Structure 1
Amino acid sequence: MTHDPQTTAWLDQEDAHLAAVIRRARFAVQYVGPGERPDEPAFGYTIGLFGLGHPELVVVGRGSSATHTLLDAVAGEVVAGRSVVPGELLEVGREELVVEECPDPGEVLLGANRWYRRPAEYSVPACLLTWASPAGCFPWDPGWDGGRHGQPRPGTWTA
């Protein structure tokens, strides 16, 4: 893909910043705010864990601060040598998370795939960190209020 010189310069600066963050912390968090349509939730994901032999991590439907807190905590454990696997229940502070496979990472991890120079069809793998509502319900539990909590199921949304 060919870009105009201004876009190329901006992408080069972004790449240099990302490289510095990944060198320092071993991963970075990419946050994507909510889209213009109501079915486009905010989400965030890690970039760098694939280079450590682990799937990237994704959180959907949370604000920037909560997304960074959750991803920083779990990715920090991965950097320290822990692997997280689908089906696992994690606790981060007062939050409970279930690890699920992200079935369409090429549609979600645009920045990570750009970083690793992989086309969407050969995307880096990812795990979705599904969070419980304040009442302790997960999206598959009775009592889950998906409209109020805005956490779509894996494979039902894209970036």
Structure 2
Amino acid sequence: MDISAAMRAFEDRQRSMITDHIRSHGVHLVYVAPAGECDCCREVGEAAPDAGDQVADLLGRAQELPPRLDQPFCYTIGLFGIGHPELVVLGLPQDASMTVLNAAAHQVSGHRQDLVPGQVVPQLEPHLLVEEIPNPGMIVFQANNYYKRPLQASVPAYQLTWSDPAGRFPWDEGRQGGPWIQARPGDYRA
């Protein structure tokens, strides 16, 4: 089996798994750990090339790219298929990220509630503020791959910015933060 056939088989299995998750649960969740947190990243270390120049060339932009995230994030795949932007949450551990996204995705697919930028979703804990991500092509790579969308025509995505237990958001005075600060939409890339 040549490498291209092996890669095609791997991609077919991945696509099948994502499709099964979407059919069974409404969405597939992608959790991205910070660099160095997982075994494969520790092995690669600093030797991994930065794809920033390639991304800038693909986007046709001469401007400087936003910095890479140095915190975990998680996003959905499957909401675009029902006409809604994908959802992204930053700075939470894997189990909390998945709980938040599953609950929010259920609001969209199960209760047919379209989330819109500026909306606070108070029925979920923590409270979530829906914010549009201006550069989703630099973040939701697997969603774009699944929907066969080029970087320049990325699936849209919303960031769900979470509040502390008292309902305060990152910019509110007295906010109790977690181990990571939530980056603002457009100020980061994967």
TM above 0.5, yes or no, is: yes
Counterpart CA distance in 1 for 2:113 and 2:171 is: 27
Q: Matched residue of 1:129: which SS?
A: strand
Q: Which residue identity is paired with 2:12?
A: D
Please provide the CA RMSD for this pair: 2.2
Partner residue of 2:53? Answer: none
8 Å contact from structure 2 (residues 103, 124) kept in 1: no
Indicate whether 1:156 and 2:156 are aligned.
no
Partner residue of 2:90? Answer: 60
The equivalent position to 2:142 in structure 1, one of 111, 119, 134, is: 111
Q: Which residue identity is paired with 2:114?
A: S
Counterpart CA distance in 1 for 2:30 and 2:104 is: 15
Query: TM-score, normalized by length of structure 2?
Result: 0.75
8 Å contact from structure 1 (residues 70, 92) kept in 2: no
Counterpart CA distance in 1 for 2:147 and 2:88 is: 17
Indicate whether 1:11 and 2:11 are aligned.
yes
Indicate whether 1:137 and 2:168 are aligned.
yes
Query: For 1:8-49, what per-residue CA distance to the aligned partner results, in whole angstroms no more than 9, with x for missing partners?
Result: 322221111111111222321111111249942111111010
8 Å contact from structure 1 (residues 49, 56) kept in 2: yes
Query: TM-score, normalized by length of structure 1?
Result: 0.88
8 Å contact from structure 1 (residues 146, 152) kept in 2: no
8 Å contact from structure 1 (residues 139, 153) kept in 2: no
Q: Which residue identity is paired with 2:73?
A: F
Counterpart CA distance in 1 for 2:87 and 2:120 is: 14
Counterpart CA distance in 1 for 2:117 and 2:69 is: 25
Bigger CA radius of gyration: 2
Indicate whether 1:84 and 2:119 are aligned.
no
Q: Matched residue of 2:84: which SS?
A: coil
Partner residue of 1:27? Answer: 27
Instruction: State how many pairs are aligned.
Output: 157
Higher strand share: 1
